[in-house]
């Protein structure tokens, strides 16, 4: 199970801005240890954000995304007090889901 995310969601009445900070090593698979052994790739592959039963963002990521990824986006709609749910799945099958209320 992944480590918790930090999620902020704010609405101005029309547009909701979501800011997410994820905790993940995001290893590219290109690096080697001092002994020369390759460090296996370990990165988030799928990200999805839902508001109620509506998917407001879905993304496929690769190893080019930096460690502890920060993701910010906006979507139309979203009520104060509503819940934004963020999930990710990495290439090892590990996953994490967290949610936050819109304010």
Chain contacts with other proteins (rule: CB under 8 A): 3-4, 6, 8, 19, 21, 23, 68, 70, 72
For other proteins, the closer of residues 45 and 98 by Cβ is: 98
CB of 22 to other proteins, least distance (A): 8
CB of 5 to other proteins, least distance (A): 8
How many CB atoms neighbour CB 71 within 10 A? Answer: 20
For other proteins, the closer of residues 7 and 56 by Cβ is: 7
Neighbouring residues of 96: CB distance < 8 A, sequence distance ≥ 6:
1, 2, 3, 4, 5, 22, 87, 88
CB 13 within 8 A of CB 99: no
CB of 45 to other proteins, least distance (A): 20
Spatial separation of the C-alpha atoms in residues 89 and 46, rounded to whole Å: 5
CB 67 within 8 A of CB 39: no
For other proteins, the closer of residues 20 and 56 by Cβ is: 20
CB of 53 to other proteins, least distance (A): 27
Q: How far is CA 61 from the centre of its chain?
A: 10
For other proteins, the closer of residues 8 and 85 by Cβ is: 8
């Amino acid at each position: 199970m992944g480590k918790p995310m930090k999620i902020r969601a704010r609405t101005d009445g029309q547009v909701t801005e979501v800011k997410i900070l994820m905790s993940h090593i995001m290893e590219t698979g290109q690096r080697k240890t001092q002994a020369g052994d390759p460090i296996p790739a370990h990165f988030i592959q799928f990200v999805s954000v839902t508001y109620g039963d509506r998917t407001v963002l879905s993304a496929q990521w690769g190893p080019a995304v930096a460690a502890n990824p920060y993701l910010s986006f906006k979507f139309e709609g979203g009520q104060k007090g509503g819940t934004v749910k963020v999930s990710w799945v990495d290439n090892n099958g590990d996953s994490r889901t967290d949610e936050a209320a819109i304010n």
